[in-house]
Amino acid sequence: MGDSRVQFSDIYLATEPYIKSVGQVRIGTSGIGWKAAEGETEALKGLTIPNLVASSGVLALQRDDLRRLQWQRVARGYGLRIHMKNGTLHRLDGFTADDYETLRDAVKQLFHGLTLETRDISIKGWNWGKPDFEGTHMSFRVDNRPMFDLPMAYVSNTNLANKNEVSVEFQGPRGKGVKRKGAPDELVEIRFYVPGTTTTASGGAEKSDNEGSERGEENGEKAEGEEGEVSAASVFHDTIKERADLGQVSGDSIVQFPEILCLTPRGRYGIDMFSNFLRLRGKTYDYKVPYENIQRMFLVSKPDELHMMFVVGLNPPIRQGQTWYPYLVLQFVRDEEMAVDLNLDADEDPQRLEGKLRSHYDEPLYRIVANVFKGLTDKRVTEGGSFRAYHGAQGIKASLKANEGTLYPLDKGFLFAPKPTLYIAHADIASIVFSRVGASSATGKMRTFDLKLNMHGSQDYQFSSINREEHASLEDYMEEHGIKMLSELSETTAVSYKGMDADSDGDAGVAKVAGAFDAAGLGGSEDESSEDEDFIAESESDVPEEFDDKYESSGGSDQEQ
């Protein structure tokens, strides 16, 4: 150690899961550095890790920013946990047992005031213990030893499942190179049973001391200076919500939209937009949605022309209990305007947003939200296409099973909203069938018809209760986009229902239907419909009745046999 610097080879960067990038670690008087080996920087693309330059594969941690160093057993041998003063935790794996003394002496010599602590893992297997929050991680401790860690940066939602039960949901793996298909199993939800009550400090503020608050959560003990009692589960839930916000951002949000009406999931949510994710804050549920989970966005007008709907497609979807929501549907009043200032300096790289966002907006609220989503996600917002319904609206009213909604024929597919929200691409449609177009009822012609979408290798969709006036515009739309139309009578024969709209004469409509029958080979000839002269019908008296003397039941005949 004469050069006052030590280095270790074949060390993995384990700050984020699913990273398989190996490199070299160097420890000197200026701090700790890790550099990816040649050809290993590809695995770092798309990741946003503090102090890491993904393009060059260099992680640089300054000596003055280090707070604590820990040595522990990990799956790849031994690992080094590096706690930063800002709450961030970095992990380096792949050390051998023989590296401990070298690393301990280097820390003692180069980092005055720091020591290499040994972190012993609990292997008792108990399912009860004490949660301990440190920075952006929560450790579950048994007999004062950590059993497992939960990174708060990966918490996507937490809620009180019941009075004493807290549910915590996690995001999937991050990074553009991470594919979910074929990936290993991962934890998506964990539930904690937190009995008893705890107390809040004067003024209703919860105690900021980690150990004191968690002790109250676990044992239900009272703290000094309390003003009221609350359930320990509620305090634990609020602590997770607070710590989860520190996972990716320590500063302010770029913009906040308060009390936005959400049709799916239903309720009013505050939307906080950050550099890499957004948060939905409701009365019961909070969600953390990374921008990379947003797959597509739509901005459409409701048929009443008074409201706008902004639809956001998510993969993976968010969840409330056992219900999954693959789409967010936000509703706005068309004439509602707002002046909004964006805090672009809150972004990690403000230059990234140049040309995509403005610092000030003064226009309808739905337009501001759509533009901000488009700029931060770097994805296209699909607006209503060229289709116009009978009364000039972008969509038509329809029902999917028992759910009423609006069907929007777009340039490349169909969108049904608000519940259940569906997007059906034209490429997935094999053919369509118009049903009950010329049907009649006892009171006259049916005022509605059905539209069935036959899909390629998946379940079909049938939209019902569509106003008859919309038929002509829908048929023109199908012809314009080259979608095959089949007869309701024979789904192998393409026919046209054009002309059978509300203005068609009743007899003419019947004649056209008859022509369609003949074209499909289902129409009967005059010979087939003529009387059969050789048929002799028996009189009703020839049929034995149960009350006749000559009637014999099947049971009676069996007994005789």
Tens-digit pLDDT string for the chain (561 aa): 445 789 999 999 988 877 778 999 999 999 999 999 988 888 887 777 888 988 889 999 999 999 999 999 998 899 999 999 988 889 999 999 999 999 999 999 999 889 999 999 998 889 999 999 987 789 999 999 999 999 888 888 888 878 899 989 887 665 444 555 556 677 888 999 999 988 765 444 444 344 444 434 444 444 444 457 889 999 998 898 888 763 344 457 899 999 999 999 999 999 999 888 898 888 878 888 889 899 999 999 999 889 999 999 998 888 887 788 999 999 999 999 999 998 887 666 667 777 788 889 999 999 999 999 999 999 999 998 889 988 889 999 999 989 999 999 999 999 999 989 999 999 999 999 998 876 666 555 778 999 999 999 888 999 999 999 999 999 999 999 999 998 766 554 444 444 454 444 445 444 444 444 444 444 444 444 445 445 454 444 444 444 444 444 444 444 443
Helices H / strands E in the chain, number of each: 8, 37
Distance CA 340, CA 475 (A): 43
Reading the block at residue 508, the tokens are 């003419």
Nearest in space to 245 (alpha carbons), one of 157, 354, 139: 157
> Is the CB of residue 196 less than 8 Å from the CB of residue 232?
yes
E-state strands within 321-373: 323-333, 337-341, 360-364
Closest residue by Cα to residue 223 from 238, 202, 240, 192: 202
Length of the chain: 561
The pLDDT score that the predictor gives to residue 198 is: 85
How many of the other CB atoms lie within 10 Å of CB of 290?
19
Whole-number pLDDT of residue 489: 60
Residue 353's pLDDT is 78
Q: What is the pTM of this model?
A: 0.64
How far is residue 247's CA from residue 230's CA, in Å, rounded to a whole number?
26
The 8 Å CB, 24+ separation contacts for 120-123 are 120/72, 120/145, 121/72, 121/73, 121/145, 121/146, 121/147, 122/146, 122/147
The Cα 297–Cα 379 span in angstroms is 8
The predicted pLDDT at position 527 comes to 45
Backbone angle region of 39, left / alpha / beta, with phi > 0 → left and psi within -120 to 50 → alpha? left
pLDDT value, residue 520: 44
Are the C-beta atoms of 34 and 68 separated by less than 8 Å? no
Count of other CB atoms within 10 angstroms of residue 476: 12
Q: What is the 3-state secondary structure (H, E, C) of 7-47?
A: EEEEEEECCCCCCCCEEEEEEECCEEEEEECCCCHHHHCCC
Q: Which helix (H) or strand (E) holds 474?
A: helix 471-480
Measure the CA angle with vertex 63, ends 60 and 65; round to 5°. Answer: 85
Closest-CA residue to 338 (of 319, 365, 372): 365
524, 535 Cβ separation under 8 angstroms: no
* Rounded Cα distance, 163 and 237, in Å: 11
Q: Calculate Rg over the CA atoms of the chain.
A: 34
pLDDT computed for residue 519 by the predictor? 45
Helix axis angle, 232-244 relative to 210-219, nearest 10°? 140
CB contact burial 40-58 (16+ within 10 A = b; e otherwise): bbebbeebebbbbebeebb
